[in-house]
């Protein structure tokens, strides 16, 4: 009864004073294209600088090449078939991803503890050490890698030192070996891992470690059971960055690995500039891109699914 009465009175009120319940006066209708127009400069830049070159590279990879005729404007997938059939290319791609995987592993092994130690440092030292860790990013890749080359050479400092100490009889081969490339790439890429783990450490409640201690866990158990699980997302996202950069790295493998130890990026470069087989070089580049995207997206999916429950 009272419900009906109140509804009735509401209706009456509405009837008596329609302006209070009427929709607000309409604004002049917005042109629906405004958001697109506003983002057009950014989209244009993105398209011109990224999408167009990518599309052109892909189209180039479909062309054919002969030593006498040069690039021929035909559309075929012969280049892809060549690469898939040739064990030489298998070896190069396998090496590329092997190097990238080992570098990623080493970066995680060094970078994660490094970030953790940095976080626990006191104020003046922390800034200084962070600068040292991030230092490699401030130096040009070429000069930094040439420094490694000087250090690694058969008459370089490392070999001279080891031989001088009588630890080895003959110089260890660093130059033009996978070991050398891996060491140099790890040095270059470890800051990315440190930064990524650092970011996830920032979210860690410092009291959580004390809580685990108070419950009777030793320092190592605290590390393994409490700290590590919480920074795993940071390590994984750092790994994705490091892996992508290592797999597509050019300068370091070019200088340390040279012609003898080719990876996908240096292979594409040589096809373009030495053999002048542009279509084949483009094919290598496209395949590298696809493989990288597949591996990274796959890993990302895995991480997201695994940690969805805990970290949203």
Partner 1 sequence: MAYLVLDQLTKRFGNWTAVDNVSLTVEKGELISLLGPSGCGKTTTLQMIAGFLDADGGRVMLDGQDLLAKKPNERGLGIVFQSYALFPHMTAAENVAFGLEMRKINRADRDRMVADALKLVGLEQYGDRHPRRMSGGQQQRVALARALVIKPSLLLLDEPLSNLDAKMREEMQIELRRIQRTVGTTMILVTHDQSEAMALSDRVVVMNKGRIQQVATPQDAYDHPANAFVANFLGRTNLLPGMVGGGSAGTVITVADSVWPVAQPMAAGPGALAVRPEKIGFVDAGGLSGTVLARVFQGTQWLFEIETAAGRLMVIRQHDGSPLPAERERVMVGWRADDMAVMPAGPDTVFNAQEAA
Residues that bind partner 1 (CB under 8 A): 205, 207-208, 210-219, 221, 225-226, 229-230, 309-312
The two structure tokens encoding residue 150: 């000087």
Q: Based on CB atoms, which residue is closest to partner 1, 13 or 310?
A: 310
Which stretches of 24-86 are DSSP H helices?
34-46, 52-62, 78-85
**3-state class (DSSP) for residue 215:** coil
| Residue 128: CB minimum distance to partner 1, A | 21
Q: Based on CB atoms, which residue is closest to partner 1, 140 or 214?
A: 214
Helices (H) and strands (E) in the chain, counts: 16, 2
Q: Based on CB atoms, which residue is closest to partner 1, 185 or 212?
A: 212
Question: Which DSSP string do the residues of 251-309 spell out, in sequence order?
Answer: HHIIIIITTTS--HHHHHHHHHHTS--HHHHHHHHHHHHHHHHHHHHHHHHHHHHHHTT
Q: Based on CB atoms, which residue is closest to partner 1, 41 or 206?
A: 206
Give CA 215 to chain center in angstroms: 38
| Residue 202: CB minimum distance to partner 1, A | 14
Which stretches of 47-77 are DSSP H helices?
52-62
Please provide the size of the chain in residues: 312
Which residue do the tokens 């050490």 mark? 129
- Alpha-carbon distance of 86 to 131, in angstroms, equals 46
Q: Based on CB atoms, which residue is closest to partner 1, 31 or 205?
A: 205
| Residue 228: CB minimum distance to partner 1, A | 10
Contact between residue 253 and residue 180 where contact means Cβ atoms under 8 Å apart: no
> Closest Cα partner for 134 from 202, 190, 183?
190
| Residue 217: CB minimum distance to partner 1, A | 5
Contact between residue 58 and residue 282 where contact means Cβ atoms under 8 Å apart: yes
The two structure tokens encoding residue 270: 């040589």
Which residue do the tokens 């080359």 mark? 149
| Residue 112: CB minimum distance to partner 1, A | 16
Q: Based on CB atoms, which residue is closest to partner 1, 142 or 211?
A: 211
- Give me the phi and psi of 217, to 5 degrees please: -85, 135
| Residue 300: CB minimum distance to partner 1, A | 19
Q: Based on CB atoms, which residue is closest to partner 1, 213 or 291?
A: 213
> Closest Cα partner for 79 from 57, 56, 63?
63
> Closest Cα partner for 135 from 114, 109, 106?
114
Q: Based on CB atoms, which residue is closest to partner 1, 167 or 312?
A: 312
| Residue 264: CB minimum distance to partner 1, A | 37
Q: Based on CB atoms, which residue is closest to partner 1, 147 or 218?
A: 218
| Residue 214: CB minimum distance to partner 1, A | 4
| Residue 104: CB minimum distance to partner 1, A | 23
């Amino acid at each position: 009864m009272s419900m009906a009465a109140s509804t009735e009175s509401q209706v009456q009120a509405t009837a008596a004073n329609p302006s209070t319940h009427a929709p607000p006066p309409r604004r002049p209708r917005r042109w629906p294209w405004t958001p697109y127009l506003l983002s057009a400069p950014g989209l244009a830049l993105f398209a011109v600088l990224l999408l167009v070159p990518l599309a052109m590279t892909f189209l180039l990879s479909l062309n054919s090449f002969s030593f006498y005729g040069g690039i021929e404007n035909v559309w075929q997938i012969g280049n892809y078939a060549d690469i898939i059939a040739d064990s030489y290319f298998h070896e190069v791609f396998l090496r590329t991803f092997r190097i990238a995987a080992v570098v990623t592993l080493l970066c995680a092994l060094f970078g994660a503890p490094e970030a953790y130690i940095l976080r626990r440092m006191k104020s003046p030292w922390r800034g200084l050490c962070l600068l040292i860790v991030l230092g490699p990013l401030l130096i040009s890749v070429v000069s930094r890698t040439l420094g490694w080359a000087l250090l690694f050479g058969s008459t370089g400092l490392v070999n001279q030192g080891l031989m001088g100490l009588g630890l080895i009889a003959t110089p260890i081969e660093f130059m033009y070996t996978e070991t050398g490339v891996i060491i140099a790439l790890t040095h270059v890429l470890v800051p990315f891992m440190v930064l990524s783990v650092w970011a996830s450490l920032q979210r860690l409640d410092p009291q959580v470690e004390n809580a685990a201690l108070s419950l009777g866990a030793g320092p190592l158990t605290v590390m393994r059971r409490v700290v590590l699980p919480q920074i795993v997302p940071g390590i994984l996202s750092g790994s994705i960055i490091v892996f992508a950069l290592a797999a597509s790295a050019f300068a370091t493998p070019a200088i340390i690995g040279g012609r003898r130890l080719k990876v996908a990026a240096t292979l594409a470069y040589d096809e373009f500039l030495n053999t002048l087989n542009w279509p084949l070089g483009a094919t290598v580049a496209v395949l590298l891109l696809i493989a990288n995207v597949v591996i990274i997206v796959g890993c990302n999916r895995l991480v997201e699914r695994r940690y969805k429950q805990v970290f949203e």
